[in-house]
Amino acid sequence: MVVNKKKPNPIDIHVGSRIRLRRTMLGMSQEKLGESLGITFQQIQKYEKGTNRVGASRLQNISNVLNVPVSFFFEDAPGEAGSGDPNGMSEANSSNYVVDFLSSSEGLQLNRAFVQISDSKVRRKIVELVKALAAESDSE
């Protein structure tokens, strides 16, 4: 007998990835988030993968623990109505690179270090350096 496993809903996957994004931005472990919610880290894993759907009251609790509005979890969601794009994808496509960047270990480390720099001139110089390095790697 072949078991046909149901694929997770794209919205559930998106909400889960946003939970993971915010949790990692805060440097919080799955275990710590689970403890704060009274559930196991395995359940957090299932939420983050989209294999288990997050209920409304649980999502509200997660938003409180992660200190973001519930709407944060739906930003750039697939099929979201956008400004002028009938498919709702223009905004999502343009900001997916930000989510991908902040989901990477390097991006998260760079972001954490960058926001700790209080001098705006130094931050601008860092941006110029990174742009120059990117241009150099493109020309190779």
Is there a single domain that holds both residue 57 and residue 120? no
Asked if residue 30 has pLDDT above 80, the reply is yes
Is there a single domain that holds both residue 18 and residue 41? yes
CA atoms lying within 13 Å on the CB side of residue 92: 18
Alpha-carbon radius of gyration of the chain: 18
**Tally of CB atoms within 10 A around 1:** 2
Is there a single domain that holds both residue 67 and residue 130? no
Asked whether the whole model's pTM tops 0.75, one would answer no
pLDDT value, residue 75: 86
The CA dihedral of 85, 99, 8, 37, to the nearest 10 degrees, is -130
Nearest partner of 117 among 105, 132, 131, 127, judged by Cα: 127
* pLDDT tens digits, one per residue of 39-95: 999 999 999 999 999 999 999 999 999 999 999 999 888 875 543 444 444 444 545
Q: What is the mean pLDDT of the chain?
A: 82
Is there a single domain that holds both residue 97 and residue 109? no
Is there a single domain that holds both residue 60 and residue 31? yes
Per the structure, the count of domains in the chain is: 2
Is there a single domain that holds both residue 42 and residue 63? yes
Is there a single domain that holds both residue 61 and residue 42? yes
Q: Helix, strand or coil for residue 6?
A: coil
User: 134 is in which domain, residue-wise?
Assistant: 105-140
Yes or no: say if 13 and 46 are a contact pair by the CB < 8 Å rule.
no
CA separation for the pair 115, 123 (Å, rounded): 9
Q: What is the CATH number of the domain that holds 38?
A: 1.10.260.40
Is there a single domain that holds both residue 125 and residue 89? no
